[in-house]
Amino acid sequence: MSDDIEPNVQDWVPSWSRQLDDHPTALCWRADGELLAVSSLAGEAVALDAIDGAQVRAPVHHDGGTLCVAWRGAQLVTGGQDGDITVDGERHHVGGWVNDLAVSDGGEVAIAHGRRLSIAGGGVLTTHTNTITSLMWHPVRRFVAAASFGRVSWVSVEDCSTNDVELQWGGAVATLCLAEDSGWGAAGVRGDWGYAWRLDQAGPALTLPVGTSTGQLVGFSADGSQLALATPKMSAVFDLVSPDPLGQPAGQWLSSVGTPTALCWHPTTDLLVIAVSTGASQRGNGLLAWQPRRAPIPLGFISTPSSVTHLAWSPDGSTLGLAAADGTVSTAPNPIDLG
């Protein structure tokens, strides 16, 4: 650990901890912050009470593994390798691996299964040449963005028409994310760059160089003004409201250690948390925290017992939940001291 980080080392002290049967695949808070859904490659999907971690309903199971979870109001939605989705426990077979789910503000469930994009109860909207890996809803229109190799397309739920986002260098898109307040979309790519674009403007997406990664660790700050991309080579934050002299988002490299394994922004502040793994036997895994506009140096390091694969703040920002590679799920209230 570097001298810049060591003075601020803390230990992760959870309010509660629960054990999954296998490696976690998804972690998602319900909008009221009362329940936390988590799934694993063993096929389980459970809803846990935010106060004590108790399981509050019968678990859902998908043969081969549950790959994604989401909430539709109070209803838990799941998808798995068996080609099924469940909505509040009711099972529907859609075929193919269910790689991602997205729920609109109006409660419509978009499903990425194999190369197809479907709406629950409404049939297939479109088919891509390659596997659809990620979905997101447009903030104001009935359009779903579907990502696959070299392609991000907006698909109309009403007439199935499509409009592609221009990705200059292509690449296998792994993750889509949305900054609803600022009207930006972003895509993480398995390669040396990411993309960002304004939803209300035509033209090619901006290409953001970040170094080779899986494209999974991408996220907007709460106000949508900053975009973070974490890679083994570098973790960077791009300022979307203060362009550089060439008119591109100003990028800032964050001083870090180890390999990033998970990323999330606080939902009400400009606090960025990235889980890292250094491979060291002592304090080799943990969470680094920054306020990028304040400084590129971390505020501190929270040591965790094992490598963290998923991070999620409760909607009000009072509690941080994490899932670790060993199947441990836990939460802690306000674990990061901003000083």
279 pLDDT band, cuts 50/70/90, is: confident
282 pLDDT band, cuts 50/70/90, is: low
Average pLDDT, the chain: 93
- The answer to whether residues 184 and 206 touch, using CB atoms and an 8 Å cutoff, is no
- DSSP per-residue string spanning 123-147: EEEEE-SS---EEEE-SSSSEEEEE
3-class DSSP state for residue 307? coil
> Does 39 score more than 90 pLDDT?
yes
Burial class of residue 183, CB neighbours in 10 A (0-12, 13-18, 19+): middle
Structure-block tokens of residue 256 = 């870090």
Q: Any idea what DSSP says for residue 339? A: -
Contacts of residue 270, Cβ cutoff 8 Å, sequence gap at least 6: 221, 222, 223, 226, 291, 292, 293
Structure-block tokens of residue 161 = 């028409």
> Does 281 score more than 70 pLDDT?
no
Q: Any idea what DSSP says for residue 59? A: P
Q: Any idea what DSSP says for residue 55? A: B
Average pLDDT of span 44-61 = 97
Structure-block tokens of residue 251 = 């990028």
Average pLDDT of span 108-127 = 97
Contacts of residue 191, Cβ cutoff 8 Å, sequence gap at least 6: 169, 171, 172, 212, 213, 215
What H or E segment, with its residue span, contains residue 11? strand 9-11
> Does 228 score more than 90 pLDDT?
yes
Residue 11: Cβ within 10 Å count: 12
3-class DSSP state for residue 6? helix
Average pLDDT of span 86-101 = 97
Which residue has better confidence, 4 or 85? 85
How high is the pLDDT of residue 233?
Answer: 83
> Does 7 score more than 50 pLDDT?
no
> Does 339 score more than 60 pLDDT?
no
Average pLDDT of span 186-197 = 95
- DSSP per-residue string spanning 139-190: SSSSEEEEEEBTEEEEEETTT--EEEE--TT--EEEEEEEETTTTEEEEEEE
Residue pLDDT, tens place only, 145-188 = 999 999 999 999 999 999 999 999 999 999 999 998 889 999 99
**Is-above-0.85 flag for pTM?**
yes
